Every structure is written in C-alpha cells, then in structure tokens.
Chain A
Amino acid sequence: MLHITNLHASIDGTPILKGLSLDINPGEIHAIMGPNGSGKSTLSKVLAGHPAYEVTEGTVTFQGKNLFDLSPDERARAGVFLAFQYPVELPGVNNRAFLKLAVNATRKANDQPELDDVAFEALLRDKAAVVQMDTEFLDRAVNEGFSGGEKKRNEILQMALLDPTLAILDETDSGLDIDALRIVADGVNTIMTPDKAALVITHYQRLLDYIKPDVVHVLAHGRIIKTGGPELALKLEEQGYDWILEEAGLLSAV
C-alpha cells in the first residue's frame, strides 16, 4: 500500500531524512520507535505533505500513485490521515462544524453523498462514544484550551470519523492516562480492516500491548536502521537504543 524508497527530506536546508525506505502492505500495523530528534515526526509530516519540508530524493507511492503528486488535502481525501504529535489550536473554529466539513469533503471526493446534519450527528455520536469524548468538546473551538490528552482524543475522533486507509499516529499515546491509552488503541482497532494499514510512532512498548504491530522499525539519524517483529519493541524497552546504534555503527556519531 505504501512504498517509501530512499527518502531524503530537509527542513530549512537541514537534511533530516537521509535515505529512508519502508513498505507497508494492506492489513498491517507498523510501529516506528527511535530516539528523540531522529526524524519520526518529520517522516509523518512529509507523508502528509507539510510545505515546510523539502523532499530532495526518493519516491513514495500510496496505492500505486505517486504521493508527491497530491496536495496535502488531496492526500487526506485519498485516505492518508495523520494524528499529530502536537495538534494545533484553532481559535474561533467550531469543532463540530469543522468535523462535518472534513467528513463531507472526503465523502464528496469519493463520490459518496454528503451527510446532512441528522446523519452527521448520528455518526458523530457513534464515534464520540468510541473515544469516550464528552460532547461538550464538540461545541468548543478546535483544540482550544483542550488538555494534552483531550487533544489526542480529538485526533482519534477525527481518525474514526474519516476512516482513513492509512493512519499515521505520531506519539498519540504520549501524555495519555491508562484509560485513554486503551481508547486510542480501540480507535485504531475499530478502523483496521484487511484493506487498511497503520503506522504507529511511539516511544513506549506499552501502547503495543493494545495495538499489536506486525512490524517494528527503529528510526535513527533519518533512516530505518533495524526492522523486526513485536519482540524488538520489548527488547528496546529493556535495553534502550545503544545496542542497535552500535550495531549500525552510529553510536560514536551521537
């Protein structure tokens, strides 16, 4: 579904991704772990199309199409979703109205009829229940004054509503209480079907108890330096990154 080959990307002239390759097949959940500053969020934003990042080399195809031919909103409507590590606040933009616009923009692009208020409310109630989000948050401005955890729940609510083909979660588990962690996992598990895929960025193996990854990658210095199964996450939790960095000959460079 997603094929990343030798991806190089920089921000403000500083190279961050330096030859990253990764393949995700339908039905798979991939986890990416890696030290702070290694380029995980950069990867997620490059995939979503943030204009601040410049792709200098490499290719990314999504469902057979060149991802870089699509604008950020086209990518979203084609089924790529990014749950941000730091969701921004949008003062004055009503959350409910925003969610309805987003859902209908994607439906329209996929030749589905747009939802009217009644149908949308029903869908919204449904999905808000999955993330156990108080409807009070729907009447507020998007993320404004939300706590860290509430923002993350709002991301998962958006994911559940938009039902993406590829969900990228950037540290959605950071700053969540134990219950919320399960909610995030439930959110991912409810959207997962054999034709969907997820890329879960996390620092903690804990999340992977709830979302069972098929593949675990270690990203360091802008590249995938190790790939393994779920046991890799457990080993990282116990031993940290040094042994992998050493294996890759990168330790001295830290």
Chain B
Amino acid sequence: MTAVLKALNPVEHTRQRLKTAVALNPFEEGMLRTSRNDGSETMNALLASATEAYHRVGFPSRRQEAWKYVNLSALAAQSLPYLLPSHFHSNAIEFTSVWPKEWPTVVALNGRVMNSPLPDGVTLLSATKSSPETLSLAGLSHEALANNDDTFSLLNACGVLQGHVAGPVWVVPKESVANGGLPSVWDWSTLSNEEAGQCAMRGTVVVEESAKATLVVDLTSMGFSPLSLSNIHLNFSVESHAELDVVVIQDSQTTGHVSLVTVATQLSAHARCTLTTLSLGQGLARLNLDTHLNAEGSEFNHQGLVIQHQAAQAFTHSVVNHVVGNTTSHQWVKAILNDQAKHDFDGTIVVASMATGASANQLNNNLLLSGHARALARPQLRIDTDDVQCSHGATVGQLSDDQLFYLLSRGLPDSVSRCLLTYGFAQAALDEIRHPEVKAMLTQRVLAALGQSESPVENCLMDCTQCHSHAHEPVLTSANR
C-alpha cells in the first residue's frame, strides 16, 4: 500500500494538520465564527477548550479510516446557519410518535425544546446554569473536550455552549423506573428554497444506580433543502446495576440531508444497555457508536436496522470498548438496501489488555434488493488479551431464490413474497425491544420505510390489502408474541 493511501490515525492526522496549518473551510469558518463571547466565564472557558480541540481535530478527511467513504465535500464548501424556529405546532409531532402517548416527552423542534414545564428529572443544559457535574455528563468538561476527537461532536459542543443547540438532560433517579420520549424534528421548510442550514441536539441520559429506563429518541427531518445537516450527540450513562432500553430513530426524509448521530454510552458495573437503532431515509446518514464497558458485569446489546433507498448512503461506525474483563457485548446490524443505496459498516471491538473474560460478538447482514445497491462491511477486532470470546462476521446477499420459490408455490404473488421475506429479514432487529407497544409502533415505522422504495416492497404495499392495513402486524412474528 502506498503512503498516500494509508489511513491516518487521529494523532498522526492532528500532527499533519498542525504542520501544514490547514486553512479552515467555509463550513468550519461559519461554525467557529458564530462564537458569542458575551457568556459567563465558565462558558467562555469551555468554548475556548472546544475551539482549541476543534483546531486539533479539524474537518474529517477521507484519509481517516472512520470517514473513508463519507463524502462531506458539499458540506465543507459552505457555511450552514442554524435553523430558525418552525411555524409548526409541537402537537404536529405527536401523531408520529412511536411510544405510548402518556409517556413524559421532551419535544425539540428546530433545535428548541418546546415543553414547558419540563417533565420530572429533565433539565436543559446551560453553560451558566448547569452544574459542572451535569456539564461533565454531557461531555462538556475541559478534560472531555480535550480528549474528544470527533469533529461534529465538538461543533455540537460549541453550539450548545453558545445556546444554539437544545441540550436536554434526563436523570433517572436511583432505584426508580421511568419511560420517556425524546422526539426531535427538523423542519427545513423554514429555509427558503436555495438556502442550506443546520440543526443540532445534545441529549444526555443518566440512569442512576439500580434504576430502569426506557427511552425513545426520534430524530426526524422533514421539508426540503438542497443541503441540510443535523448533528446529534447523545450521551448515555448507565450506572451500576441500572438498565437502559433505548431506541434511536434516525429518519431523514429529505434528500440532500446529512444526518450525523453519535451515541456515546458509558456502562458501570453490572449495568445493561440495550440499544435499537433505526436509520431510515434517502440522504446521508451516519451513525457513530462509541461504547465503553467500564466495569465488570456490564452488558451492551445493539440491534441496528438500516433501510435506505434511492441514492441514500448509510454509514454505521462503531467502536465497542471492553475496558475491563467480564463484560459482554452483542451487536447485530442489518441493512436493507434498495435502488442505488449504499451501506458501509465499520465496526471495531476493542478488548483492553487484562480484560480477561470479555465476551463480544458482532454481526452485519446486508440485504440488497436491487442490483445497484452496495454494501461494504469492515468488522475489526483489536484484542490485547488472550482469555476472551470474540466473534464477528458479515454477509451481503439477496433474497434467497428457494425462500422466494416457497412463497410463490403457495400462490403468493412475487411482490408479496418479496415483501414478506424483506420484513422477515428486518424483524430480528426489533426483537430485543422489550416494551410491546414500542415494538408494535416501531414495526409500523419499519413497514412504512420499506414501502417507500421504488421496487418490490412498494408494489406489495399497493397490491396487497393485508400488507397495507393494520393487519400487517401479524406478518411479523415479533408483533404477534
């Protein structure tokens, strides 16, 4: 491999940047220039740390492994202003919700939290009002910022410190049980047709010792813009013996939309986090998972489902860190790709030295529904100890001819048969959702997403009344249990 092609690790990348003193691109300039300096001393100091960290990290380069196939050149070429308030009423969001109506809900619209008063346990990040502890949980401490090497997470931090970005913090107190919904909607119709814009959100969830929480984060983009960016950073901190069941939906119905979502999860002793992610839409969607199993007995389960159509590009970038031994992680990412859609799975399992008895497995299955769809899988293991159980694997395939023939031979039309098999493939991704209502509602969301493509599944939804109505639920084993 030539030196030019070789991927740079973040440190090398930084050195190179410093040496060559790269000029800021228009996007970065726009972002860093908006710095308000009229805040408190704390805010100014944190903002200075974030900006300094940003100058160290810089804009992603495709020479970095983590960004290898992500084309952000359109983004880099212009400055993107934050979205103005939407004319929408926050009630408009309710009908799309995939959690029970009675759950406490924090609604963010165009980056502004609409609730008043806020549900119990929820506060909003503020550089002036939040305690240093709260800021730190949200990754806004000098130390966290200095160690952060994610461009968009740092820009998100700048945004929240300046008050451009909603930062709900939800604390589930010790030994309690709580459910919640965190819908965040970006309405690009506030921009005039040729305008580009961006929106961000920084959500923090702390499940204290022995508490149990179920949360649905629904990130939806609607309306049109030639270029729009949503930059979401979620911090989940699950303390000892606590459990967090969380669903994150990354739904961008807007072409020209770049959806960047980071989920940073920290797990303490005997804590468990079950994360279900759903990446839908037709723009560019990148899901970045940064997971730390910090103490013995902790467990992380991730079920990911990617459904993309047309020219959509989806990226699942994940690093699961087994910092200590006797920790468990399972990861299963499934992608259904239609039309010319692409998915790149780049998943690494890291097992630290001395982390004996760690158990990690990772699987990526890609289903190509069109001859033009593409999937790439790069599962990696970085293991510095002997006594571990790790497995990983990936598949790329089409619907099985024999399975299809079986359904046809029972008289089901081709379109319905393909539709059933596609649902069947998707279904396993929803299996770990323990809340039956959430699972049923999410199933509907998945079905709707499958119905949007140009090819077989849509025909199915047109042809087959069973598939169209609520009676769809029993088609999936999950909804039926």
Contact = CB atoms under 8 A, between A and B. Distances in A.
Interface stretch (A26-34, A83-91, A174-182): A83-91
B405 A51 contact: yes
A94 B408 contact: no
Contacts of B464: 101
B411 A109 contact: yes
Interface string A139-152: 11100000000000
A13 interface: no
B434 to A, nearest CB: 18
B59 interface: no
- Select the residue from A76, A81, A97, A139 with max chain B CB neighbours within 10 A: A97
B410 to A, nearest CB: 4
A109 to B, nearest CB: 7
Contacts of B400: 88
Given A88-B400, A92-B427, A141-B477, A98 B420 contact: yes
Interface string B405-428: 111111111101100110111111
Given A52-B401, A88-B402, A94-B476, A104 B409 contact: no
A187 interface: no
B380 interface: no
B428 A91 contact: yes
Q: Which 8 A-B pairs have the closest CB atoms?
A: A92-B424, A92-B427, A76-B411, A72-B408, A102-B410, A93-B424, A97-B474, A77-B411
Interface of A: 48-52, 71-73, 75-77, 81-82, 84, 87-88, 90-94, 96-98, 100-102, 104-106, 109, 117, 139-141, 158, 162
Contacts of B416: 101, 105
B414 A73 contact: yes
Given A100-B466, A106-B411, A139-B480, A90 B421 contact: yes
Contact of A93 (B409, B477, B481): B477
Contacts of B423: 92-93
B408 A73 contact: yes
A82 B409 CA distance: 7
A98 B411 CA distance: 11
A88 B407 CA distance: 10
A87 B428 contact: no
Nearest to A48: B409
- Select the residue from A48, A77, A92 with max chain B CB neighbours within 10 A: A92
B462 interface: no
B479 to A, nearest CB: 8
Given A90-B407, A90-B424, A105 B413 contact: yes
Interface SS, B side: helix
Contact of B480 (A73, A94, A100, A117): A94
Contacts of A49: 408-409
- Select the residue from B403, B407, B413, B478 with max chain A CB neighbours within 10 A: B407
Given A92-B425, A94-B475, A76 B409 contact: yes
Contacts of A93: 420-421, 423-424, 475, 477
B474 A96 contact: yes
Contacts of A73: 408-409, 411-414, 417
15 contacts: A52-B401, A72-B409, A73-B411, A73-B413, A90-B407, A91-B427, A92-B478, A93-B421, A94-B475, A98-B407, A101-B464, A101-B466, A105-B411, A139-B477, A139-B481
Nearest to A86: B402
Contact of B477 (A76, A87, A94, A100): A94
A112 to B, nearest CB: 13
Interface in B448-470: 464, 466
Interface SS, A side: helix
Contacts, number: 103
Given A51-B405, A90-B406, A91-B424, 7 more contacts: A73-B412, A73-B414, A84-B409, A92-B478, A94-B477, A102-B412, A105-B411
Contacts of A82: 409
Contacts of A81: 409
Interface string B261-291: 0000000000000000000000000000000
A24 to B, nearest CB: 19
A101 B481 contact: no
B367 to A, nearest CB: 11
A158 B407 CA distance: 11
Contacts of B466: 97, 100-101, 104
Nearest to B416: A101
B475 A72 contact: no
A7 B401 CA distance: 24
A53 B478 CA distance: 35
Contacts of A162: 410-411
A71 B408 contact: yes
A55 to B, nearest CB: 16
A143 to B, nearest CB: 9
A94 B402 contact: no
A88 B403 contact: yes
A191 to B, nearest CB: 15
Nearest to B431: A92
A141 B471 CA distance: 17
Nearest to B427: A92
A78 to B, nearest CB: 9
A140 B410 contact: no
B461 to A, nearest CB: 14
Contacts of B412: 73, 101-102, 105
Nearest to A144: B477
A92 B409 contact: no
Contact of A76 (B402, B403, B410, B428): B410
Contact of B428 (A48, A92, A109, A140): A92
Contacts of B474: 94, 96-97
Contacts of B410: 76, 98, 102, 105, 158, 162
Contacts of A52: 401
Contacts of A109: 411
Nearest to A72: B408
Nearest to A89: B403
Contacts of B427: 91-92
B26 to A, nearest CB: 46
A132 to B, nearest CB: 21
